[in-house]
Chains A and B, each alone.
With several copies, the nearest count.
Chain A
Amino acid sequence: MSTKTRPAPETDTRTTYREAVRAGLRDALLRDERVFLMGEDVGRYGGAFGVSLGLLEEFGPDRIRDTPLSESAFVGAGIGAALGGMRPVVEVMTVNFALLALDQLMNNAATLLHMTGGQLNVPLVVRMTTGGGRQLAAQHSHSLEGWFAHIPGLRVVAPATLEDARGMLWTALEDPDPVLVFEHGSLYNDAGELAPDAGPVDLDRAAVRRTGSDLTLITYGGTLRTCLTAADTLAEQGVSAEVVDLRTLRPLDDETFLASVRKTHRAVVVDEGWRSGSLSAEVSARITEQAFYDLDAPVERVCSAEVPVPYAKHLEDAALPQPAGVVAAALRAVG
């Protein structure tokens, strides 16, 4: 069930999530001349989060294309460029600003193939930073990837590991349809080992990141770490938690999390979105629909408090999912 992994060769080196995304972009730019990166400050500035640092110097201003502040126009231009035979990677600096481009994403990117009876593919990749936790307050802390996953015609992925940070971009660019890639802002400095020749990863399956027997923690992206930490704590308390990383939020890979729940009979779904209408609600509903008689306890959700995320650290911490909250929900489920 887990994603393709290859035995790590001797040559393994330490790298960060930021570098892994950058390597993925370089791979793509070197591999396919139709690929270009477009967005605010991707070039001279090096990307608001430093992801594209150095790419302008290597690939030039045509392929590392700085845009003015015009989210709707440059996301729409990515759609048009994809229709015109290019393989654009559009960077929307953060998901908070993608609201300005939602019409282009929902009414054009997601719709054109179906509405034209299969005539027009939109091989567009849109990357954006998502999530809170850095005291950026209400307008800069949205976690909307689960919300975007409501839209048919889009594929939505959330790399949580170095391997996915690098490999998902490759697979996304081979996808004939629009793919939104959500990078959680708190992950960029994560460091670890990654094969220098790490390649594409499949986007069709969720991954079991930790095996366990007493309950299943289902999550993705920025809260994978939260769940792994919670699983450690639970282990100390004698509770064995399996952790499923959804990886792709649309279309969801039901089989992987259902298989886990059928095994553990208990589930806690965790994401950083606001609770009402969260992706966790969808996962909970699907478990009820497909594994109701396997459940020994109601499916629990741990999401963000339903408030605009505040600036003050203690309030922000209280608003976002924390390991302690996951542990508490897990203990309710097994208790």
Chain B
Amino acid sequence: MSTAVLSRESTDLDLLRGMLRIRRFEERCAELYSATKIRGFLHLYVGEEAVAVGALDALGPDDAVVSTYREHGHALARGLPMTSVMAEMMGKEAGCSHGRGGSMHLFDAAHRFYGGNAIVAGGLPVALGLALADRMQGRPHVTACFFGDGAFAEGEFHETANLAALWRLPLLLLCENNRYAMGTSLAREHAQTDLALRAASYGLTSWPVDGMDVHAVRDATRAAVEAIRAGAGPHFLEVLTYRFRAHSMYDSDRYRDKAEIAAWKERDPITSFTAHLREDGLLDADTLAALEAEVAHELDEAVAFAEDAAVEPVESLTRHVYSER
């Protein structure tokens, strides 16, 4: 990959396709979970697709991405092949983490996609270090780190934010504020819920973004990434979004008001973007149908690939605890 490519020039159709790929992928994952082909924890991103697609569209291939356990969307938007992601979900050797990580630990060194971190806020210090390495080696890259409103309460966020600002590192902190940390609402997590304001108190350039609008996310991320590359120091985006489904497959979602969920679903990033494109005459029913068919085809192939894929031989369990020398 050439460092010249600093960000994609995606069309609106690309953006729509990107969101559809994530949505359909996860809907299928939910089915595969019920069919016990996917196990462990499964955290769905449904409703938040505009964040991953918009933000990652503004990054170049040599930039680094650090994510959470709710990262299917980030992985797909980053360009990981759907086949290797689905194979990982099923624990197959062809998976992007060789089947050892599963849903919470999608990794791909070639795409500079550094997980897939299941300890809340645990990815932040690592992202700080990736940014430091780029800086010390004089590379023009940006490291983008996704984390949630819950992670903001962890000490690791505080330490990372201060160090990033202190050292003016090329770090983009992307806080996906979906208003809940598991069953705990924003107002029960934080005394002061204006996270963008609090981020500013560290000396980070920071602003809130509508996370249900893929253009808004992409444009905000582009602006931040350009500023970071220009040497303006780390940035923080509070991306306001909402998860439409439960926290995980184990969650009965007792803590959220149905009306609240319904209100947010009104703002579904895919339906609203589709409507917007159709109003502007940029999308017609046939194109949309073709797009859906294309995505369905890719997904079927990914599932078939994953189902057919082999598991790692049990003999190699102890491989890679240490490097082979």
Interface residues of A (CB under 8 A from B): 36, 40-41, 43-46, 48, 62, 66-86, 88, 96-97, 100, 103-104, 107-108, 112-121, 134-140, 152-153, 155, 176-177, 305-308, 310-315, 318-319
Contact = CB atoms under 8 A, between A and B. Distances in A.
B118 interface: yes
Contact of B102 (A112, A137, A308): A137
Given A66-B184, A80-B130, A115-B105, A312 B100 contact: yes
B101 A44 contact: no
A116 B126 CA distance: 15
Contacts of A85: 133, 137
Contacts of B1: none
B39 A135 contact: yes
B182 A113 contact: no
A108 B105 contact: no
Given A73-B156, A84-B64, A315-B312, A177 B323 contact: yes
Interface of B: 39-41, 64, 91-93, 95, 97-102, 104-105, 107-109, 114-115, 117-122, 124-134, 136-137, 143, 150-151, 153-156, 159-160, 162-163, 166, 181-184, 188-190, 250-251, 254-255, 311-312, 314, 317-323, 325
Given A73-B156, A313-B91, A41 B163 contact: no
B125 A77 contact: yes
B311 A140 contact: no
The B interface is mostly helix, strand or loop, or mixed, namely loop
Contacts of B121: 69
A83 to B, nearest CB: 6
Given A112-B115, A311-B99, 12 more contacts: A45-B255, A46-B254, A70-B153, A73-B128, A80-B126, A84-B129, A84-B132, A97-B119, A108-B119, A116-B101, A153-B321, A307-B317
A85 B119 CA distance: 24
A84 B314 contact: no
Contacts of A68: 150, 153, 159, 162-163, 166, 181, 184, 188-190
7 contacts: A68-B153, A81-B133, A114-B321, A139-B104, A139-B105, A139-B119, A315-B100
Contacts of B133: 80-86
A114 B95 CA distance: 14
A17 B195 CA distance: 40
Nearest to B66: A80
Contacts, number: 265
A308 B155 contact: no
A311 B115 CA distance: 15
Given A79-B129, A83-B114, A104-B122, A116 B97 contact: yes
Contacts of B318: 305-307
A232 B101 CA distance: 34
Nearest to A155: B322
B118 A139 contact: yes
A22 B102 CA distance: 31
A307 B314 CA distance: 13
Contact of A115 (B100, B128, B255): B100
A137 B124 contact: no
Contact of B125 (A40, A75, A306, A314): A75
A70 B102 CA distance: 26
A36 B136 CA distance: 10
Given A104-B122, A119-B109, A73 B102 contact: no
Given A68-B153, A68-B184, A81 B132 contact: yes
Contacts of A139: 104-105, 117-119, 122
Given A69-B153, A108-B126, A140-B104, A315 B317 contact: yes
Contact of B119 (A44, A96, A118, A306): A96
